Amino acid sequence: MAPYTALVPVEIKLHALDNARSPWHRNPMENDMHSFTPDPTRTTDLRRALGQFGTGVALITAQTDEGPLGMTANSFSSVSLDPPLVLWSAARTSKRHDAFASAAAFCIHVLSAEQVDVAMHFAAQGHDFSPYPVDSGPNGAPTLHGCLATFHCDTYAVHRAGDHSIILGQITAAATQPEERDGLLFKRGGFGRFMPNPDADQ
């Protein structure tokens, strides 16, 4: 008898360890999740999962050797208040990557919900600014009118990160619209706008 009683706790322990390794096998809610290990054959699944995270949409511009350049980006994020740093990431496969990665300065435009055309235009190409009048910003980057906010940045650092470069900028000048307007949002591959949740008391 003694050897069997000694075995029981060992079995329980192994079972517990198994569950610890695979938590989604324990929780019936999480069982509904479609889980996968990201690898080169699962990029569509990874894109779809990342697309669950809604973002704003920005237009990044820079004055380059080939003239003014723009690119639609949703990877924009704030990083630090002191010093004021922001980042965005540029795909290394993009024809525009090298020009942005080597630019000394750039401007981030936060697009409004009415600026889907701007987002589509600068997703398709980067050199044609003819539909949108621009000023030269304080650090030389082309600056569009009518955006929700603009952040004029000096390039602070560029870090290679897989198939993208993380481009960090130090904000040297910023501007915002005086009135509240909806921003352009991007989620699951589509554009939209913010809808307040009346159940969430603030």
Task: Tell which residue, 135, 173, 167, 177, has the closest CA to residue 153.
Answer: 173
φ, ψ dihedrals at 145, nearest 5°: -90, 160
Enumerate residues 38-57 that contact ligand FMN by CB under 6 A. Answer: 57
**Is residue 72 close enough to count as binding ligand FMN by CB under 6 A?**
yes
Name which position in 64, 89, 139, 155 contacts ligand FMN (CB under 6 A): 89
* Residues 101-120 interacting with ligand FMN (rule: CB under 6 A): 119
Question: Do residues 107 and 63 make contact, with C-beta atoms less than 8 angstroms apart?
Answer: no
Stretch that binds ligand FMN, among 22-30, 45-53, 79-87, 94-102 (CB under 6 A): 94-102
- Closest separation between CB of residue 189 and ligand FMN, Å? 8
Paired tokens of 49: 């999962």
Strand runs labelled E in 39-163: 55-56, 58-64, 67-73, 77-80, 85-91, 105-110, 134-136, 142-144, 149-161
Query: Could you tell me the end-to-end alpha-carbon distance of the chain, in angstroms, rounded to an integer?
Result: 63
Question: Could you tell me the smallest distance in angstroms from the CB atom of residue 50 to ligand FMN?
Answer: 11
* Under rule CB under 6 A, residue 168 binds ligand FMN: no
**What are the residues binding ligand FMN (CB under 6 A)?**
57, 71-75, 88-91, 94-96, 119, 123, 186
